[in-house]
Structure 1
Amino acid sequence: MTPYLGNALLLRRFLRPFQRVLGHTRRRKWCPLYVRGLMASLERKSLQPLAEHVAPGQYAQLHHFVTVSPWQDDQLGAVLARQAQRLVGGRDAVLIVDDTAFPKQGTCSVGVARQYCGVLGKIANCQVLVSLTLARDDVPVPLALRLFLPKVWTDDPERCAAHGVPVGHRGFLTKKQLALEEIDRVRQQGVKFKVVVADAGYGNSAEFRGALSARGLTWAVGVPATQKVYSTNVGMLTERQSKYGRLMVPIPDEQRKSVAQVLHEFPPHKWVSRTWRMGTKGPLHARFAVMRVRVADGGELHDGSHLPGEEVWVVGERRHSGERKYYLTNHPTKTTKIEIIRDIKARWSCEQVHQHLKEELGLDHFEGRSWRGLHHHALLCMIAMVYLQALRLNYVPFDPEKQRPTLPQARHMTCCALWCRYCSRGIGYG
């Protein structure tokens, strides 16, 4: 158990490795102040109100620290990765790939364009950041937030240069490619996990799934109902020559089917009810079907269809509301059904992280327009989130004199409420 320490001392100890990387004395000064401001109970956490709260009269210095000062972002990200690994990494952890959007007005902020906005559920003017979240036992911590640049930006080098986009980031990359780059980065920085999970926005890409398999990673991803598969018994017809003398490629000896059709034909008695975790309103459960298939993502045939590819599990989910969900995963053949289901359902943790980052820590409150300012703000928000999760995990039993929360209480408290509870002895920002 961690002995009780004043909140200022706990935060200083946590931030010490980050401050060493920042190097410059002024940066080491402003980092804890900004993080404390993000954790404060402010209605708006843009630079102006945040500076008024933690450093009255010093707005210009704080603005320079976030938007202008040239930090070593990679080194700071490496420290964040080590802290995340220490808290929740390991053989039982899951790495969640997702993205989060910030609706915006105008076109001046870096990366803003008309694109799909998950917050609004439609095409809108917004910024989109690809995210990585590491989670274990329903405790998630953010690892990466990287801005996605649409083609309207990458096709305009002058516009990118005006907003400070580094030269190495001006080429167009899809969200899947950005996610793969970030996965490679955090793995090199020592992050360990059991499985990569993602929703259908990433799982619908055969290239993304293949890239994860090529890296030797276990993955579990959502797929659309139209995803085509073959049975595991699919065979190939022998090559034959057409009347025009051209050699025909091998063709499967059965018709491919969608995952929705395959699972619709699955015997009803093989659909099982499973509970994967306890929610705030009780156990969460649904009916699932799990079976082995071959994904239709091999070589392309002349009619546009694809040959059988990797053998994987297909998972169907039927909720009580009538909603249907479908997943593919390359878990080993001897993996139990409940383990597969729990890994798939672990993806919800990233939604919790995005909600806390936005609603509690002001991730989407940043009003600057530059690449550097946005990524600095996002990195500081992630540092604050990891610190608060560390408070949750390194709790001590409830003490009436110190007013410390127990672990069950801490798990369900909002970020700011947890921070205020630790500040309840009136220690302040000293």
Structure 2
Amino acid sequence: MVGWHEELMDWLQPFLAPLGHRRRRRMCPAYVAGLIGPGDRKSVQPMAARDSGVSYDQLHHFIGSGVWDASALETALLVEADKLVGGDNAWLIIDDTALPKKGCHSVGVAPQYASALGKTANCQSLVSVTLASREVPVMVGLRLFLPESWTDDKERMARAGVPTDRQIARTKPEIALEEIDRVIASGVRFGCVLADSGYGSSGPFRQALSERGLLWAVGLSRRQNVYPADVALVFPVASTGKRRKYHIADQPPVAAEAMLAGEKWQKLSWRRGTKGRLTCLFAARRVRVADGHKHRMLDNRVQCMPGDEVWLVGERRSTGEQKYYVSNLPTDTTLKTLAATIKARWVCEQAHQQLKEELGLDHFEGRSWTGLHRHALMTMIAYAFLQSRRLKAAGRKKKTHRSAAATEHAGRQESDPRDLRTATAATMPPL
């Protein structure tokens, strides 16, 4: 990290211009540098104590109550992320991450499921959006989810500074769709949207992605009802009573788990991990998810009719755990490609961990909506800067290895023209 302060100042120029006032243009690099620099705590007070050029009051005012628009910096972050990892082969990964908290006054804090802890805990929950390619993630969005205990209490939201247009109950999939629209509007390039079952089990979420013309591969509950792809819709005529308004399926739906139970499962590898190739058993077939219009059957059951045809994919892990997914990738997509696409989502977990452990995403000690989102934005900017350095270092390393390999190859040609072994390409350094 020698000389990184100077490089940071140059890299931050697109973010500093929208800030306007020269004091804010000085506080932004100081805050980002404080997140990147040494120290176990990355909250305002210890960062200010480690920087002789700024005071606690200055940093606190900048992040908590300063008058500046974060949207311009969010747009600049999307532009830089697209430069780093954007493209047709990039993934846009939707997930959420929890920030454990004590007390009840920090905005959005409530007992809710925390994936990092694997249980329900008192925490804030943020919907995250990550752009990634070549196993390199860049976080581009973090938006706070407000549980009912907050949206039902207008006074509580007002005390925490929740903007008026955010003082409504919204699900995590709804927040995610708004973020996806923001990413699309910025011109960021990506090829496929990935998400876990917390989002993929929502029929409206999947349908909204398809309406936007997006490819997607998302998790699904094993209990989700599906129909075979060849299900037919019939229109039986009743001898008495009113005429039917909708068609009905000619066969009943079954759970996703049951649909794949009799399929042929194949052992596939999708990437190399620290302990060798990662492998699992996979199976897939074309289905139609039961998320169409609801129809009341003769036995008074309400049954959802077949939706669009998609891939249903099952995964059996060595631990005995089973996971299920659906995707609207083309019908000629191979099982290996489906598996690799589904498993590409893991890099967002890596990004969550690094933002917390290296950059203090969960160290913010303020209570306000504005302060939390600005702190999260600064951590994402810091993370994008670090990723840019890592990619540059990997490029230099790869170029050096290629030059060395070419020299070695030329030497071998002089001594033995039959020796035509190819040097292996260098990989990214550990993140």
Q: Residues 263 and 56 of structure 1: is their aligned pair in 2 closer, same or farther, counting only changes over 3 Å? A: same
More relative contact order in 1 or in 2 (CA 8 Å, sep 6+)? 1
Kept in 1, the 8 Å contact 2:139–2:384? The answer is yes
1:331 aligns with 2:334: no
**1: distance between equivalents of 2:317 and 2:230?**
30
2:151 maps to which residue?
154
TM-superposed CA distance for 1:110, in Å, is 0.6
**1: distance between equivalents of 2:54 and 2:245?**
76
1:404 maps to which residue?
none
Q: Aligned with 1:364: secondary structure?
A: helix
Of the three residues 390, 395, 400, the one matched with 1:392 is: 390
Kept in 1, the 8 Å contact 2:5–2:33? The answer is no
Of the three residues 261, 269, 276, the one matched with 1:275 is: 269
TM superposition score normalised by structure 2: 0.89
Kept in 2, the 8 Å contact 1:273–1:285? The answer is yes
Q: Note the residue ranges of structure 2 that are not aligned, 5 or more in a row.
A: 401-424
Kept in 1, the 8 Å contact 2:235–2:244? The answer is no
Of the three residues 48, 52, 69, the one matched with 2:49 is: 52
Kept in 1, the 8 Å contact 2:64–2:368? The answer is yes
Q: Aligned with 1:254: secondary structure?
A: coil
The residue correspondences of 1:312-327 to structure 2 (distance < 5 A) are 312-327=310-325
1:363 maps to which residue?
361
2:419 maps to which residue?
none
Kept in 2, the 8 Å contact 1:220–1:344? The answer is yes
Q: Deviation digits for residues 275-307 of structure 1, max 9, x if unmatched?
A: 111111111111111211111111101122111
Instruction: Give me the identity figure in percent.
Output: 51
Kept in 1, the 8 Å contact 2:227–2:254? The answer is yes
1:195 aligns with 2:192: yes
CA RMSD of aligned residues (A): 2.0
Kept in 2, the 8 Å contact 1:241–1:248? The answer is no
The residue correspondences of 1:362-381 to structure 2 (distance < 5 A) are 362-381=360-379
TM-superposed CA distance for 1:240, in Å, is 2.0
TM superposition score normalised by structure 1: 0.89
**2: distance between equivalents of 1:74 and 1:247?**
51
Q: Note the residue ranges of structure 1 that are not aligned, 5 or more in a row.
A: 401-406, 414-430
TM-superposed CA distance for 1:121, in Å, is 1.9
**1: distance between equivalents of 2:237 and 2:428?**
67
TM-superposed CA distance for 1:120, in Å, is 2.1
Q: Write the letter of the residue equivalent to 2:379.
A: C
Kept in 2, the 8 Å contact 1:36–1:54? The answer is no
1:176 maps to which residue?
173
TM-superposed CA distance for 1:164, in Å, is 1.2
Q: Aligned with 1:33: secondary structure?
A: helix
Kept in 1, the 8 Å contact 2:15–2:73? The answer is yes
Q: Residues 383 and 242 of structure 1: is their aligned pair in 2 closer, same or farther, counting only changes over 3 Å? A: farther
**2: distance between equivalents of 1:7 and 1:119?**
31
Q: Which has the larger radius of gyration?
A: 2
- The alignment covers a number of residue pairs equal to 401
2:113 maps to which residue?
116
Kept in 1, the 8 Å contact 2:217–2:342? The answer is yes
Kept in 2, the 8 Å contact 1:38–1:384? The answer is yes
1:301 maps to which residue?
295
Of the three residues 70, 89, 94, the one matched with 2:67 is: 70
Q: Write the letter of the residue equivalent to 1:142.
A: M
The residue correspondences of 1:220-259 to structure 2 (distance < 5 A) are 220-241=217-238, 243-245=240-242, 247=244, 249-259=246-256
Q: Deviation digits for residues 233-270 of structure 1, max 9, x if unmatched?
A: 1112223226444636422111211111111121xxx3
**1: distance between equivalents of 2:150 and 2:77?**
29
1:38 aligns with 2:56: no
Q: Aligned with 2:234: secondary structure?
A: coil
TM-superposed CA distance for 1:160, in Å, is 1.4
1:186 aligns with 2:183: yes
TM-superposed CA distance for 1:114, in Å, is 1.8
TM-superposed CA distance for 1:350, in Å, is 0.5
